[in-house]
Structure 1
Amino acid sequence: MSFTPITHTCQYNEEDGSMRMFLRGRPVILYGPSDKDPLDPAKVAPPPQNKLKLEWVYGYRGKDCRSNLYLLPTGEIVYFVAAVVVLFNVEEQCQRHYTGHTDDVKCLAVHPNKLIIASGQCAGHDRLDARPHVRVWNSVSLATLAVIGAGQMERSVSCITFSRADGGTLLAAVDDGPDHTISVWEWQRHDKGHCLTETKCSVDTVVAAEFHPLDRNQIVTCGKNHIAFWTLDQTNMLYKRMGIFETRDKPKYVTCLAFNHNGDVLSGDSSGNITVWARGTNTAARLVRGVHDGAVFSLAALKDGAVLSAGGKDGRLVLFDAHLHAPLRETVIEGHYGGVRVVAEGRGSQLYIGTTKNCILHGDLELGFSPAVLGHVDELWGLACHPMLPQFVTAGWDRLLQLWDGLSHSTVWSKDIEERAQCCAWSTDGGVIAVGCLSGKWMVYDPHSREMLTQHHDGSEPIQTIQYSPDNKMVALGSRDNFIYVYRVDDNGSRYSRLGKCLGHSSYITHLDWSEDSQYIRSNSGDYELLFWNATTCRQVTSPTSVRDVTWSTNTCPITYNTIGVWPENADGTDINSCTRSHDSRLVATGDDFGKVKLFAYPVTQPKSLCHQYGGHSSHVTCVRFAADDSRLLSAGGLDTAVMQWLRD
């Protein structure tokens, strides 16, 4: 978190109280209220007195990452989403967060002492600040102990593992660059660690790397077309022996690793088979065929010696005895949660299961599983807070509409709406939820029954934004086809009749606001225009000075007189995806293309304005909204699919 000076080229005209702002060289003329005191553009506005603190992270990354869910002695499970590592106590329903990363966390490892954690990230937006690296940190204090590999890793850290037979003095990491380099580090030597050795691991993708739990300096890696057994010798050279499948069918992918109590290596593959590799050898000793329909995504050797196998496609959990004889028990995860990505052993017979649809389930094989974490699995743009209650909805390209409770941090319900959603809005009385989709379709839902009340289609381009008028009698929809569609609302939000469409923008609509008296609409577009409209006639108000004293119900348009200072120097007009004003009109928050949430004092009329900025998202922040009582800010990350809840202090 830091103070960030925000400046760009602006010219103030004292005669008419207008500011000429340049976005990508294009002039935008903005008129302040007629009673406004003259501005000094050179003056720097201070940051707000309020700050934000990350309170809760909704979501999990199971879609494309492995070995990313563990239980700690504190009773917390540790996992990651976006650039945050989450420590979540499911029983006590409380979260802590490690926020040292600057971009997507891709892998995780727990030290044998169960106290220290390593997490690896990919390259970020800022090439200097966000090079791929591994961070080693204390899971109790959340203090960073070492930052390893910055400047040596190319693309992303795909696998990390602590040594186990020697008490965890070494850390091995695999880089996702073209050579998939494996490096071994003495991570405690100093705050950047000491690289003992590195070598090319494989021309093919590497999906897992594990130190052997009983044999010192032995590492096993696996991935596309291979399993490899490595030895770190006394001269710190790494020697590789490729796994030999002999006459048995060589799988396309070796997908996961585990070790039984004898020290034999167990590997799962893309054909649904489990292979046993006797300790100290690189030859397959035994093959258990057809355990799963599709790939084996996770193998876990449990405390009692049993082996649990999990399928990514079939969603089955199969429990074997220690010798992998006939299955003892099996169960299937409900399909809508996805396949099983990873299994972590909990306390007693409890298991935690990360799924391919970004859910974490908990339970046991006898009684079944219930969700502890739900999330979105595709790009997330739609976010709207209830006008009175501490609830919010999210809607994404995964066709999911989800209602959340911001106090209990739980999912109230999740619904497949069968359309890729781009935006959503509550009616002013909280009675209905409208969802705009990529197809140009928009639907209205009852939040209690979850039933669709009505649906309409406007154009064939995405509906980018929806806003109900303050009097709840109209709704405006901004489309990618450059038009704003205005409807009259009847029967408590269940019936709609089109009043007309606003023609005049020469690019797609990005944001819109209603005036407090529901008479006017203002809108921003992809070519940085700010236009004004008479809502009932859908006619453009061609004289901006005639509406300079209008009071606006919201400030979701980032290009306005009162938000001049949110734009950085040399900004592209598309850099800021979302803007919102607190209901008490004291703060403005923005979400940008660089994963940052920024907080300004409102109004932000000074071109040079200081702000507080916060990381955590790893993708473009697509939407920010204040809760009804302004106590919290919600932010949605596009590709990172996470929703973050920030506490305002």
Structure 2
Amino acid sequence: MADQFKDTKDMTYNADEGVLKVYLRGRPVNLYAPSAVRDEYQLTKAVPAPKHRLRLDYGYRGKDCRNNLYLLPTGEMIYFVAGVVVLHNADDQTQRHYTGHTDDVKCLAVHPNRFTIASGQCTGSAPDAQAHVRVWDSVSLNTLHVLAGGELDRSAGCLAFSRVDGGALLACVDDGAERTLSVWDWQKGAKLTENKASAETVVDVQWHPLDKGVLMTCGRQHVNFWLLEAGCLQRRQGVFGGRDRPKYVTCMAFTDSGDLITGDSEGRILLWERGGNQVARTVKAAHEGAVFTLMVDKAGNIVSGGRDGRIVQWDRSLSRTGNVLELPAEYGAPRMVSAGRGSQLLVGTTRNCVLAGDWTLASRLVARGHTDQVWAAAAHPGRPQFVTGAWDGHLLLWDVMTHSPVWELALEEGIQCTAFSPDGSRLAVGLVSGRWEVLDADTRERLFSRADGPEPIQAAAFSPDGRLLALGSRNNALFIYQAGPAGYSRLAKCTGHSSFITHLDWSADSTLLRTNSGDYELLYWTAATGRQLTQPSQLRDTQWATHTCTLAFNSVGIYPEAADGTDVNTCCRSHKGHLMASGDDFGKVKLFSYPANQAKTHHQTCRGHSSHVTHVEFFAEDDRLLSAGGQDTAVLQWTVE
């Protein structure tokens, strides 16, 4: 009967008309079942999870922090990307991953045995994303202990293992309002004591390498000296004397004789003699701008890196040795310098690069990343390559096998979306200003550029025959352009949406388009004229070349229970049509069987991102999946198993 509806979750189905009515934020949206399934479709059925699984294969550098780059005995570099700790083998460009965290990893520490790792995360929006510290084995990747769950206010800000007693203790600074310093017997999972670390921001904690029970913290306008005695933490404040107190003490390290050295925001290096709490010596203008990082190398020399992009070596008396490295501007300034193999230095930079080199040879780029939200990503249709673009204005073409950039292009403004032409020769790039460009995908030559209003271009896609280009704007309009000898000419402007365009798909024959908008509309268009098709029931059997529209009949199952429409940001159907992937606001990448057209559609959930996932896309052979993160600025590559 036409009036007999079956209710499941927030959907109803009219079998007579073959209409699935979905309610998002109380707004009904009609979706039309294809003829092949309309008669037997039942909301009470469930789609099982796919047998395929996603395994994280490679993570490209994301948001950076201090003290997050070290070399392990396995020859792997360790650092973190979003919610994943990466163990990166630079020789063969492979990675292993520790994926026990549920949100952004903010800090890590390496045990004196160099195999045990502690990593701390922040509190996220998901119910299970609570700030805590995990101690784990870097060989087996097994979790040994979970500490401080429910005790940290906002995040574990910095961590350090003790050194004199064989690493029995772990110090943790809570990055919350109270900035609590706690000391843990990590093997027992027991907190021994805690104290307020400072009234101001704390950026680092370190144990003294020679004196038992002594540790230091530093941060905004302070250095504090701590003594752990009789189960209590006793504090002495560092005395700067007549010298100007720096706005920030940004980093610290210990000489081989046990003296403390600190770097500050004024570009100075200060020396504090062992056992004291007063500045004994000052090196002014060690760097132009803040000193970001300090380390003591295997020969006892001091190495500093600063905002000026320089890495400088000093001898034990804090005199320059003459060894200076100046990083190329495109790599940014050295945020972290640590010891590599032999005399090699590992450098993590403010532009999220990892470099390896020594004082005599040019540094080698080991890893690269974006520094702002990544919204644009596209897999090459015919090669093992993909492109990413971010609000930092950088567009990079990556090689899947070597995990390194093929080329990089700096644009004048943030990048919002990108798409390859079907043959892979052209690349469309939508920018946040409303301007868009078409580039030669190999040479980066600009083939065409135009602006369609001041609002960002949110979505872009070439037609399957390669002749047309569709652009969805934040000004609620869809623009269709035709390629010609003199560039691109506008074929149509489609108006009818009451909110910004979020996703678009071409029909397989390149004649029709469908679009989603920010207020949960699904509209259809004729490409040749831009006319809106107002009888969507007649399009129920249209074959679509892609499926990126999150709101469509065959993707309703990707929405979780009580979804309000904003939870799911992106989806993509595999080229073989058997799988669908989605990315949501909680940092999760999910894998579904396709079509995902039931209220109960089971899935595989994969963790890696720590903020909203902005883009997912299968590679041409469906053997890999690409995902991009927003605030975590991470790009992850998954193997489909």
SS of the equivalent of 1:368 reads coil
Counterpart amino acid of residue 219 in structure 1: L
SS of the equivalent of 1:164 reads coil
Q: Partner of 1:447 in structure 2?
A: 441
Q: Partner of 2:183 in structure 1?
A: 184
Q: Partner of 1:101 in structure 2?
A: 101
Please give the residue correspondences for 1:3-14 in structure 2 after superposition, counting only pairs within 5 Å.
Answer: 8-14=9-15
1:527 aligns with 2:519: yes
In the aligned structure 2, how far is the partner of 1:222 from the partner of 1:262? 20
Q: Name which of 572, 575, 586 aligns with 2:567.
A: 575
In the aligned structure 2, how far is the partner of 1:476 from the partner of 1:132? 43
Structure 1 residues 604-626: Cα deviation after superposition (integer angstroms, max 9, x where no partner): 11111100011110010000000
In the aligned structure 2, how far is the partner of 1:572 from the partner of 1:104? 24
SS of the equivalent of 2:363 reads strand
Q: Partner of 2:455 in structure 1?
A: 461
Q: Which runs of 4+ in 1 moved over 3 A?
A: none
1:478 aligns with 2:472: yes
Structure 1 residues 200-251: Cα deviation after superposition (integer angstroms, max 9, x where no partner): 1101000010000110110110000000100001x21100001111112221
Counterpart amino acid of residue 612 in structure 2: H
Please give the residue correspondences for 1:194-593 in structure 2 after superposition, counting only pairs within 5 Å.
Answer: 194-233=190-229, 235-311=230-306, 313-491=307-485, 495-593=487-585
In the aligned structure 2, how far is the partner of 1:569 from the partner of 1:646? 26
Native 8 Å contact 2:556 2:596 kept in 1: yes
Please give the residue correspondences for 1:81-120 in structure 2 after superposition, counting only pairs within 5 Å.
Answer: 81-120=81-120
1:18 aligns with 2:19: yes
What is the aligned residue count? 633
SS of the equivalent of 1:546 reads helix
Native 8 Å contact 1:8 1:567 kept in 2: no
In the aligned structure 2, how far is the partner of 1:577 from the partner of 1:241? 50
In the aligned structure 2, how far is the partner of 1:79 from the partner of 1:310? 18
| TM-score, normalised relative to structure 1 | 0.96
Counterpart amino acid of residue 562 in structure 2: N
Q: Offset at 1:59?
A: 1.1
1:172 aligns with 2:171: yes
Q: Offset at 1:409?
A: 1.3
SS of the equivalent of 1:327 reads strand
SS of the equivalent of 1:123 reads coil
In the aligned structure 2, how far is the partner of 1:326 from the partner of 1:640? 38
Q: Offset at 1:406?
A: 1.2
In the aligned structure 1, how far is the partner of 2:535 from the partner of 2:476? 20
Structure 1 residues 271-319: Cα deviation after superposition (integer angstroms, max 9, x where no partner): 11111111111011111111100111111100111110111x2011111
Q: Offset at 1:23?
A: 1.1
1:40 aligns with 2:42: yes
Native 8 Å contact 1:60 1:373 kept in 2: no
Q: Offset at 1:462?
A: 0.7
Please give the residue correspondences for 1:612-631 in structure 2 after superposition, counting only pairs within 5 Å.
Answer: 612-631=604-623
Please give the residue correspondences for 1:593-612 in structure 2 after superposition, counting only pairs within 5 Å.
Answer: 593-612=585-604
Counterpart amino acid of residue 237 in structure 1: C
SS of the equivalent of 2:243 reads coil
Q: Offset at 1:60?
A: 3.9
Structure 1 residues 334-360: Cα deviation after superposition (integer angstroms, max 9, x where no partner): 111111100011111111100011111
Structure 1 residues 556-609: Cα deviation after superposition (integer angstroms, max 9, x where no partner): 001111111111121111211111000000000001111000111001111111
Structure 1 residues 64-117: Cα deviation after superposition (integer angstroms, max 9, x where no partner): x10110000111000001000000010121100000001111111000000100
Counterpart amino acid of residue 17 in structure 1: G
Counterpart amino acid of residue 26 in structure 2: G
Counterpart amino acid of residue 259 in structure 1: F
Q: Name which of 58, 61, 83 aligns with 2:60.
A: 58
Native 8 Å contact 1:24 1:570 kept in 2: no
In the aligned structure 1, how far is the partner of 2:411 from the partner of 2:270? 42
Native 8 Å contact 1:17 1:38 kept in 2: no
Q: Offset at 1:328?
A: 3.0
In the aligned structure 1, how far is the partner of 2:352 from the partner of 2:319? 32
SS of the equivalent of 2:602 reads strand
Structure 1 residues 167-194: Cα deviation after superposition (integer angstroms, max 9, x where no partner): 00000000011121000000001xxx10
In the aligned structure 1, how far is the partner of 2:9 from the partner of 2:288? 58
SS of the equivalent of 1:599 reads strand
In the aligned structure 2, how far is the partner of 1:462 from the partner of 1:534? 23
Native 8 Å contact 1:220 1:230 kept in 2: yes
Q: Offset at 1:545?
A: 1.2
Q: Partner of 2:51 in structure 1?
A: 49
SS of the equivalent of 1:323 reads coil
Q: Offset at 1:452?
A: 1.2
Native 8 Å contact 2:492 2:527 kept in 1: no
Q: Partner of 2:5 in structure 1?
A: none
SS of the equivalent of 1:450 reads coil
Q: Offset at 1:490?
A: 2.3
In the aligned structure 2, how far is the partner of 1:25 from the partner of 1:584? 35
Counterpart amino acid of residue 14 in structure 2: N
In the aligned structure 1, how far is the partner of 2:62 from the partner of 2:251? 20
In the aligned structure 2, how far is the partner of 1:200 from the partner of 1:109? 21
SS of the equivalent of 1:35 reads helix
Native 8 Å contact 2:155 2:175 kept in 1: yes
Unaligned runs of 5+ in 2: 1-7
Q: Offset at 1:442?
A: 0.2
In the aligned structure 1, how far is the partner of 2:322 from the partner of 2:390? 40
Q: Offset at 1:544?
A: 0.5
In the aligned structure 1, how far is the partner of 2:126 from the partner of 2:530? 43
Which segment is superposed worse, 261-270 or 8-17? Answer: 8-17
In the aligned structure 1, how far is the partner of 2:63 from the partner of 2:530? 44
Native 8 Å contact 2:619 2:625 kept in 1: yes
In the aligned structure 1, how far is the partner of 2:483 from the partner of 2:621? 26
Please give the residue correspondences for 1:126-165 in structure 2 after superposition, counting only pairs within 5 Å.
Answer: 126-127=126-127, 129-165=128-164
SS of the equivalent of 2:224 reads strand
In the aligned structure 1, how far is the partner of 2:317 from the partner of 2:360? 22
Unaligned runs of 5+ in 1: 1-6
In the aligned structure 1, how far is the partner of 2:241 from the partner of 2:419? 60
Q: Offset at 1:553?
A: 0.2
Q: Offset at 1:481?
A: 0.6
| TM-score, normalised relative to structure 2 | 0.98
In the aligned structure 2, how far is the partner of 1:231 from the partner of 1:384? 54
Structure 1 residues 475-506: Cα deviation after superposition (integer angstroms, max 9, x where no partner): 11000111000000124xx7100011111111
Identical-pair percentage: 54
Q: Offset at 1:370?
A: 2.1
SS of the equivalent of 1:328 reads strand
Native 8 Å contact 2:313 2:320 kept in 1: no
